[in-house]
Structure 1
Amino acid sequence: MLRRLLTLGLLAATLPAAAVDIKDDLGHVTQIPAPPQRIVSLLPSLTETVCELGACGKLVGVDRYSNFPASVNALPKLGGMDDTNVELIAALKPDVVLVAVSSRVAERLRALGMKVVALEPRSYQDVQRVLNTIGQILAVPDAQRVWRHIEAGVAAAAGSVPAQARGVRVYYEVASGLWAAGPVSFMGETLTRLGAGNIIPADLGPFPKINPEFVVKANPALIMVGSRGAQGLTERPGWNQIDAVKRGRLCIFKPEEGDILARPGPRMAEAAQIMAKCLREKAGS
């Protein structure tokens, strides 16, 4: 009996993985006949997820913004959202192409016979779902281990925020032009989990464009912004009267920190630590 069980176990280990039907965020269903050996990723958060799930070596090309882990910088760069190099992607002969929902080349790639999966996480729930989907594509049995690590890391970051920093009202500008992180975005959800408030109403969506006067009237006690967006921020009309500006409660994130904060994927626990550090240093005293 033992010999038979061992034989069955070895046989199961050598059998090819069963084909899976993947329904993406646009409702397209793509059959993946076997775990892909050649993957193109056109969104940084998807690139990082593939690598975190142990398939970094199967990437053959990425978008120009994918830069983590460092090994992906040696891969062919395939452009951005508006100038994706379709010809080069075709030449790479990928088994599957991972794209953002907002990608403009998905249909062109499908027309060329490529398997395309569109995924674009915007919330914590989305991140967990995308992890599961990419895990299915890669035939990784426990992709949710990454999610458990994220949850534990965010909880640890929340535990590091002092009581006096909890409830502080934050304006988080994610891009120049006053694009803000709303409470229903993954960035906003992280702020909430850290105990911070958000001046942006949930009904404006995940990343709304904000009128500068709205921020003045909302009078946040703390402002989070990337280094590019910080240029000229304090000179905006009326902003010198905002409590955060008057008291110097501005967290200006370095470009490498901005990458971590802006990518809904495996490094979200690290993003939570960056935000928690901001809250401790600027609102915890």
Structure 2
Amino acid sequence: MKTLSLCCAGLLAATMVLSGPARASVSAQDDDGRTVTLPAPARRIISLAPHTTELLYAAGAGARIVATVRYADYPPEAKALPQVGDAHALDLERIVALKPDLIVVWMHGSSARQIERLRALKIPLFHSEAHRLEDVGEGIRRLGVLAGTADVANAAANAYAQRVTSLRARYSQRTPLKVFYQVWQQPLLTLNKQHLISDAIRLCGGVNVFAQQTALVPTVSPEAVLAAQPQVLVAASVGGQPDDSLALWAPFKQFEPIARHHVVWLNTDLISRQGPRIVDGAQQLCEGLDKVRTDLAAKP
């Protein structure tokens, strides 16, 4: 009888060891400062932005994504995932049918109404909204915690952080350049100092001429841009190739960035998404600003 009891106790202990971690709750703070707690690591995740999909794959949780949204095309395997809408509309019925245990959202990529409707579903939401380049790495770590893939996530976050640190050390103290970043042409949109891209500008030794604007993505006039006297105009496009989005500046022959050809084109997928590839976009930006510095040194 004693032997049987010991045997049963051993089986029970083994069962607890095997099943315990799977049932253990996990918690992480999102970018809004909210603590997200799950009864167990997420196994069915819906990603509602292209960059959150990239973050999840970097965190080692790609196999746990059951759906994403339009334009979530990186890494390549993400293209095969089911889609539940885009920034304008979400298929809530399909989201519910997929039975997610975690939804990762981009607060500025969805309407407030959509976010409220998602919250009403009582499914845990993780808000992703990085404001500094270092925040992207932290987002990878936190999603790794929630998905139970912390080892992979921490390795990816460490590699990312090392690249950001290296770029800051190399470029941030170089001769400052006044930068106008054009987000869109009509209406003419730029960004303030709270935007992640503005941090990339700082990393490269640039000065965002509209840093003090109140709105994250403010509307400005061409006259305001001219008055700010930027030395460099930065824009993003598909593949980083020049397009007609800067055509509005053609009549302004004395506008320094146009007159001196101090325009830096970036790949929009790299600089505009708040995923780990933004460090590649930041490197493109730093190299572009350095070319302007070289030109200014040669032809003041």
CA distance in 1, matches of 2:25, 2:92: 26
State the one-letter code of the partner of 1:108: R
Q: 1:127 to 1:233 in 2, by over 3 A?
A: same
CA distance in 1, matches of 2:27, 2:57: 22
Q: Match for residue 222 of structure 1?
A: 232
Give, in angstroms, the shift of residue 159 of structure 1: 6.0
2:286 paired with 1:276:
yes
TM-score under structure 1 length normalisation: 0.82
Q: 1:278 to 1:85 in 2, by over 3 A?
A: same
Q: 1:154 to 1:22 in 2, by over 3 A?
A: closer
CA distance in 2, matches of 1:275, 1:10: 54
Pick one of 27, 35, 48 that aligns with 2:41.
Answer: 35
2:136 paired with 1:127:
yes
Pick one of 135, 142, 148 that aligns with 2:158.
Answer: 148
Pick one of 66, 75, 82 that aligns with 1:76.
Answer: 82
2:117 paired with 1:117:
no
Query: Does the CA-based 8 Å contact 1:174-1:181 persist in structure 2?
Result: yes
Mapping of residues 253-264 of structure 1, within 5 Å: 253=266, 257-264=267-274
Q: 1:135 to 1:232 in 2, by over 3 A?
A: closer
Mapping of residues 1-285 of structure 1, within 5 Å: 15-17=20-22, 18-25=24-31, 30-102=36-108, 103=110, 104-124=113-133, 126-142=135-151, 143-158=153-168, 166-176=175-185, 177-227=187-237, 231=244, 233-236=246-249, 239-253=252-266, 257-285=267-295
CA distance in 1, matches of 2:95, 2:201: 38
Q: Deviations over 1:140-182 (max 9, x none)?
A: 335444343233223444566599x731211111233222133
Find the residue that maps to 2:150 and give its secondary structure: coil
State the one-letter code of the partner of 2:78: V
Query: Does the CA-based 8 Å contact 1:160-1:276 persist in structure 2?
Result: no
State the one-letter code of the partner of 1:149: A
Q: Match for residue 4 of structure 1?
A: none
CA distance in 2, matches of 1:63, 1:55: 16
Q: Any unmatched runs of 5+ in structure 2? A: 1-12, 296-300
CA distance in 2, matches of 1:120, 1:135: 16
TM-score under structure 2 length normalisation: 0.78
CA distance in 2, matches of 1:193, 1:107: 35
Find the residue that maps to 1:240 and give its secondary structure: coil
Find the residue that maps to 2:253 and give its secondary structure: helix
Q: Any unmatched runs of 5+ in structure 1? A: 1-7
Give, in angstroms, the shift of residue 11 of structure 1: 7.2
CA distance in 1, matches of 2:170, 2:45: 38
State the one-letter code of the partner of 1:72: A
CA distance in 2, matches of 1:41, 1:202: 32
Give, in angstroms, the shift of residue 10 of structure 1: 11
Q: Which entry has the higher C-alpha Rg, 1 or 2?
A: 2
Give, in angstroms, the shift of residue 183 of structure 1: 3.0
Find the residue that maps to 2:126 and give its secondary structure: strand
CA distance in 1, matches of 2:223, 2:164: 32
Give, in angstroms, the shift of residue 245 of structure 1: 0.5
State the one-letter code of the partner of 2:269: D
How many residue pairs match? The answer is 274
Which moves more between the two structures, 32-41 or 169-178? 169-178
Find the residue that maps to 1:146 and give its secondary structure: helix
State the one-letter code of the partner of 1:210: V
Q: 1:237 to 1:113 in 2, by over 3 A?
A: same
CA distance in 1, matches of 2:172, 2:124: 48
